[in-house]
Structure 1
Amino acid sequence: MLLYGASGHAKVINSILRATGQEVTAIFDDDLGKKNLGDIAVVGQYDPDFQTAAPLIISIGYNDIRRKVAGKIRHRFGRAIHPSALIDETATIGEGTVIMPGVIVQADARIGRHVIVNTAATVDHDCLLGDFVHIAPGVVLCGAVQVGESTLIGAGCVVAPNLTIGANCLIAAGSVVTTHIPDGATVRGNPARVVGNFEAGSPR
């Protein structure tokens, strides 16, 4: 497996892959000052002719950057799913997606491409997560929640059943979402309220 991004997120992905008997052979990174991540070589900027048969995962936590990088990759994309995660056989998981330790994904959930479902998050039945979403540690998505592309749901959030959260939203850590959320909103609180517009490209 190849990674793109020599980050803390890459350390976790490497741990997941090792737990499943896979090896990260090299990491691409645009910062030419980075030479290794632990015992893994950082080989410089992305090269489409490097180990062309190997799958690749984008190991970058920021949703918008992950989206931009995905557009230039010519390798096929892999997935990383920790063996402690409980994934129902009817759930679907897109390419490039990472499922962290302790995650639960219930029946008929659909998880898009290049999604991060972080440590101990719960994605209940019939949820739909768009591409490039990040579900942070400890999040609870109740049944039939829909999350639009490139949205970040912060650590410890709870989202009530049958709600839609739009694309490009930021749901602040610890929020309790009880109403539909429009595209591009920044939301926080219990109950969660829209407090502003999220600017695409801002750190998440």
Structure 2
Amino acid sequence: MSKPVILIGNGGHAAVITDILLQQKRSIMGFTAPEKQENRFGLSYLGTDKVIDSYNISDIELVLCLGSIGVPYIRADIFQQFKTKGYTFSSVIHRNAIISPYSKLGEGVQIMASAVIESFASVADNTIINTSSSINHDCSVGSSCHIAPGVTLSGSVIVGDLTHIGAGSTIIQNVQIGSQVIIGAGSLVLQTIKDRSKAYGTPAKEV
């Protein structure tokens, strides 16, 4: 049986994650945040992230509920902090997501409603595949990425770690996107984007 979970965060992305977990009848112990806050689902505020250290690593799982707009450094830092202590992150997958049994998903991935993960695609640890995004055959998405709503990765696209691909963007087949990259919303990416770059437009150009 699934272990009870503690949610890290209480913002908009946390609301989407909570909704999925409640639909799946997961046991939610409460949430952490920098200060005491109300929760729209009536969940209990447990304290700051430090309170997690008081829970036995074998009794719970964590769900990282922070979204990201730019490079998702904060998500990556929190994930690594608790992994180093031995905690496990639960993956959250919406019941309407379509995931090939021949794909590979890492720990703590979050696959939102109507997302598609096709055959032989891989999604690494702590990555968000947001609503209605399509990760086509043989794509590889790195760790701690955010693939925003409505993104299309055509076949054999490679996305490096800590990269944000903005809503509605399309990456054509066989293109490589580096690590720590930001692709602006609505972009059409036709060529390789190097590490630590920003690019946007149709076609997308580095800035």
Q: Structure 2 unaligned runs (5+)?
A: none
Match of residue 161 from structure 1 = 173
Indicate if the aligned counterparts of 2:36 and 2:45 stay in contact, CA closer than 8 A: no
Structure 1 residue 19 corresponds to structure 2 residue 23: yes
The whole-number CA distance in structure 2 between the counterparts of 1:171 and 1:23 is 36
Residue 37 of structure 1 and its aligned partner are, at CA, apart by 4.3
Match of residue 48 from structure 2 = 45
The whole-number CA distance in structure 2 between the counterparts of 1:174 and 1:10 is 24
Tell me the alpha carbon deviations over residues 123-155 of structure 1, each in whole angstroms, 9 at most, x when there is no partner: 000110100000000000000100010100000
Partner letter of residue 80 of structure 2?
Answer: G
Q: Structure 1 unaligned runs (5+)?
A: 196-204
The whole-number CA distance in structure 1 between the counterparts of 2:7 and 2:114 is 22
Match of residue 58 from structure 1 = 64
Indicate if the aligned counterparts of 1:92 and 1:108 stay in contact, CA closer than 8 A: yes
The whole-number CA distance in structure 2 between the counterparts of 1:151 and 1:139 is 13
Given the two structures, how large is their TM-score scaled by the length of structure 2?
0.90
Indicate if the aligned counterparts of 1:14 and 1:23 stay in contact, CA closer than 8 A: no
- Equivalenced residue count is 194
The whole-number CA distance in structure 2 between the counterparts of 1:154 and 1:77 is 25
Residue 19 of structure 1 and its aligned partner are, at CA, apart by 2.2
Greater CA drift, 178-187 or 32-41: 32-41
Identity, % of aligned pairs?
32
Indicate if the aligned counterparts of 1:6 and 1:37 stay in contact, CA closer than 8 A: no
- Pick from 106, 121, 124 the counterpart of residue 94 of structure 1: 106
Indicate if the aligned counterparts of 1:122 and 1:138 stay in contact, CA closer than 8 A: yes
The whole-number CA distance in structure 1 between the counterparts of 2:120 and 2:23 is 26
SS of the residue 1:68 aligns to:
helix
Tell me the alpha carbon deviations over residues 159-190 of structure 1, each in whole angstroms, 9 at most, x when there is no partner: 00011000000000000000000001110100
Given the two structures, how large is their TM-score scaled by the length of structure 1?
0.91
Partner letter of residue 133 of structure 1?
Answer: C
Residue 51 of structure 1 and its aligned partner are, at CA, apart by 5.7
Partner letter of residue 24 of structure 1?
Answer: I
Q: RMSD of the TM alignment (CA)?
A: 1.2
SS of the residue 2:7 aligns to:
strand
Relative to total residues, which structure has the larger helix share, 1 or 2? 2
Structure 1 residue 146 corresponds to structure 2 residue 132: no
The whole-number CA distance in structure 1 between the counterparts of 2:38 and 2:18 is 16
Greater CA drift, 85-94 or 48-57: 48-57
Runs (4+) of structure 1 exceeding 4 A deviation are: none
Greater CA drift, 15-24 or 59-68: 15-24
SS of the residue 2:186 aligns to:
coil
Indicate if the aligned counterparts of 2:111 and 2:130 stay in contact, CA closer than 8 A: yes
Indicate if the aligned counterparts of 2:97 and 2:115 stay in contact, CA closer than 8 A: yes
